[in-house]
A and B are shown apart, each in its own frame.
Chain A
Amino acid sequence: MLRYLARKLFIYLLTFIVAVTIDWAIPRFMPGNPVDALVSRIAMMPDANAALTSYFMAAFNLDQPLWQQYFNFWKALFNGDLGRSIMLFPTPVTTLIGRALPYTLGLLLPSILLSWYVGNMVGALAARRKILDNTVLPLGYLLTATPYMWLGILLAWLLGSVLGWFPLAFGYDQALKAEWTWRFFGSLVFHWVLPFASLFLVALGGWAIGMRNMIIYELESDYANYLQALGAPARLVRKYAFRNAMLPQITGLALQLGAVVGGALATEIVFSYPGLGWLVLSGIQNQDYFVIQGVFLFIIVGVLLANLIVDIVYVVVDPRTRVGLQGDAA
């Protein structure tokens, strides 16, 4: 078990180092020298000039050798310094991310967990049941093929614009002040429904299909045939098939995280939802590179942590990993 987790941890650590290196290297080795563009942008902001120049000296230190620059980058990172936003100068990037993060997490966590749970249930029910299968399967493929933002757009248009049931944009009613009252909380939930629903639905299709296929595969295996030959009730056989089919779905959860995060960013943009996606969009529109880079690092760290949690869950669920047999192929 320890060997299994240690191996995974090593990969995550390596991934983190690679990601930080990418984050460091891209602005420096990209054609067109974005650093020059940044410096010239700052030159137009007299009040920001002094403060930002000092940051550049610390972060970029272009006159120093490359290894020294790389080292400085890591040092700033461990001090929690991701630079300052240019569009909202002088707010530190970490503050902006901290403000947006709760919204993104509030969308992501429920939609990932719920779609995974409901999708698995629906898929398990549909497998080998003609009528249900014939509706779940095409619908599932349709949903997985839908771009996240398009389902969001459709929901916003039908339920928001045409029917007027839900608000079209923002994280809460802009007339309200952000404080912990019931009215504010209600508005928060009200604005959350549509972006959540679009993320939930797109992810749901993939899980349902995956579970359905796994159950069919498991029902064909020797142990299922043996149980059936012994005269075990179909419910019991299905129960065992479900427990075995669960394992690849748990691994799949870790693999899908990156895609779902991307989907969440796009969905937030549809609804002008004040999460990380919205932050990235305004970062792109204002060429605020530090914001984009900061969000990038946060997503990496978040996805790696989530992967680690999935691995620990996997160890709990699959006894083979505990006794040293390699349960997972990786």
Chain B
Amino acid sequence: MTSTDSAAPAAAGKTHGNEFLYFASRNTKLVIGTVVFVLFLLAAIFGPMLAAYQPMTFDAPPGLPPSAEHWFGTTLFGQDVFSQFVHGLRSSFIVGALGGITAAAIGMFVGFFAGYRGGLVDEVLNMLTNVVLVIPTFAVLLVVAAYLSVRGLGTEALFIGLTSWPWAARAIRAQTFSLTSRDFVDMARLNGEGTFRIIFGQIAPNMSSYLVMTFILLFGGAILTAAMLDFIGLGPTDGISLGLMMNYSVMNAALQLGMWWWFVPPGLAITGIVGSLYVMNVGLDEVFNPKLRAL
């Protein structure tokens, strides 16, 4: 109640963007989350350039613990773990981004139209949402992935996106419902604006913070799902990923041999990325929603 209340008048005179930055930079959760996320992102972008070895070649002595030569040690087959790690990070970010975008696009489309149009459109879309919501999507992914003989990052992300949108659609629909009855939407309708223009010109901007947070959660969810699929052995067939690293290490008795450098980094990275996204989300919630700031 103390610091934020006294700080508010100082920011009131500035423009909206500055006010956001003002509160964002003072929110520890958001700052910590963003810093951790950006660190992993930088490692994913520049790590592969730093890595002295190829991720999948067997050109090092097998089973080495971390050293100056091999920063994260080597696998049982003599692959460089650091190189696998940074390449895997890259795959995780790609899957998270593509899967998150796909799911957000479908969720927004379904949510906006169901919420704005109402009536029969809502009934049908809501039914669809409920069906996909109830289906254990992981089981669907299992069957689909098992039948694909060649799997790439793109297809994996696409299928994760296609199955993970329902809760987002539901949340966006509820928000749209409450916005649709507002005066400014009625005004736009009286002006003769079309459905698309009203949704993307009036409704979407008024829940932009909500959409950002939805996308963040979808991004993290996609990374977790992809890691699980990869671990079960249904990951990309043409590369390395963090889930695959864990799969290889468990399948090749890294646990029994005590080769912790093989399975600790990939899991730690996933936990770090997804955790930082969740914490960022809480921070953003507090920044966007003044009611929560006092807490």
Contact = CB atoms under 8 A, between A and B. Distances in A.
The answer to whether A binds B is yes
Interface string A266-284: 1001100000010011011
A22 B227 CA distance: 23
B149 interface: yes
Interface stretch (A99-107, A145-153, A237-245): A145-153
A303 interface: yes
Given A147-B270, A259-B138, A277-B232, A292 B246 contact: no
Contacts of B39: none
A191 to B, nearest CB: 15
A134 to B, nearest CB: 11
Interface residues of B, number: 55
A19 to B, nearest CB: 6
B273 to A, nearest CB: 8
Chain B CB within 10 Å, residue with most, of A12, A27, A258: A258
B195 interface: no
Chain A CB within 10 Å, residue with most, of B225, B228, B277: B228
Interface string B122-142: 000001001101111111101
B147 A255 contact: no
B220 interface: yes
Interface string A253-269: 00101110111011001
Contact of B267 (A22, A27, A147): A147
A34 interface: yes
B260 interface: yes
Interface residues of A: mostly helix, strand, loop or mixed? helix
B228 A148 contact: yes
Contact of A23 (B136, B143, B260): B143
Given A145-B278, A147-B271, A168-B255, A32 B149 contact: yes
Nearest to B33: A141
A30 B228 contact: no
B144 interface: yes
Given A255-B133, A300-B135, A300-B136, A147 B233 contact: no
Given A19-B135, A258-B138, A259-B138, A280 B263 contact: no
B231 interface: yes
Given A145-B275, A150-B267, A284-B146, A303 B134 contact: yes
Nearest to A302: B136
B232 A265 contact: yes
Interface string B145-167: 01111100000000000000001
A73 interface: no
Contacts of A289: 146-147
Given A142-B275, A300-B136, A293 B234 contact: no
A15 interface: yes
B295 interface: yes
Interface string A286-312: 000100110110011001100100000
Contacts of A30: 147-148
Contacts of A262: 136, 138-139, 225, 228
Given A32-B149, A149-B246, A153-B250, A142 B271 contact: yes
A27 to B, nearest CB: 6
Contact of B263 (A153, A263, A281): A153
Nearest to A34: B147
Contacts of B275: 141-142, 144-146
A145 B138 contact: no
B131 to A, nearest CB: 5
Interface string B216-244: 00001000110110011110000000010
Contacts of A50: none
B271 A329 contact: no
B260 A157 contact: yes
Contacts of B9: none
A14 B144 CA distance: 20
B270 A150 contact: yes
B279 interface: yes
Contacts of A22: 140, 143
B135 A258 contact: yes
Interface in A140-186: 141-142, 144-151, 153-154, 156-157, 160-162, 168
Contacts of B86: none
B67 interface: no
Interface string B183-211: 00000000000000000000000000000
A307 B282 CA distance: 29
A281 B145 CA distance: 12
A125 B250 CA distance: 38
B228 A147 contact: yes
Nearest to A27: B147
Contact of A161 (B131, B144, B220, B255): B255
A292 B144 CA distance: 10
Given A153-B249, A329-B174, 5 more contacts: A31-B148, A146-B271, A257-B136, A284-B232, A292-B143
8 contacts: A15-B134, A26-B143, A26-B144, A138-B279, A145-B272, A150-B246, A153-B263, A295-B142
